[in-house]
Amino acid sequence: MDRVFLDANVIFSVGYKQTSLRRLWDLPDVMLLSSNYAVREAEVNLERLLPGAMAELGALLERVKIHPTPRLSPLPTMVNLFEKDMPILQGAITVRATHLLTGDVKHFGHLFGTSCAGVLVLTPSEYLRTKVSLTD
C-alpha cells in the first residue's frame, strides 16, 4: 500500500476546483496522509480566495490521515529547502510516507523523481500517471 503525503498546494488545488487530482481519493491501495501544517496552510489560502469551498474540502479531508506537525530535525544533506517548506518533507518522512506529492516546482523541483529518506517526491500528475499505468 502506498502511503501518500499531500503538500498544502495539492490540498488547496483539490478544494479550489474540480480537478483531476481528486482521483487520488479513489485509488485503491493508497493511504492519503498530510500534516496539520499543510492542511492549515491550504485552508488559510482557500478561505481567502473561495470561502464557500471549505465545506467540500472538509469532506475530502475526512479521508486523509492528518498528523501533527513534526519537530524540525536535520534533513538529508542533498536537500535544500526554505524553512517554510521543511515541515512538509519532514512530515512525510516522520509518518513514513512512500511518496510526497507536491506541485511546488519552484521549491521542490530539484527533488522530483528522487527519494529522500525513503520518500519519493513527485508531482501529483506524475504519481497518477504511474498508478494508472500499473492498473492497465
Q: Residue 133's pLDDT is what?
A: 66
> What grid cell was written down for 86?
521543511
Does the pTM of the predicted model rise above 0.85? yes
Condensed to tens digits (0 to 9), the pLDDT of residues 51-90 reads: 777 888 888 999 999 999 877 666 666 677 778 888 999 9
Q: Residue 136's pLDDT is what?
A: 46
How, if at all, do strands 99-101 and 2-6 pair? parallel
Alpha-carbon Rg for the chain, nearest whole angstrom, is 14
Domains annotated for the chain, with CATH where assigned, are 2-135 (3.40.50.1010)
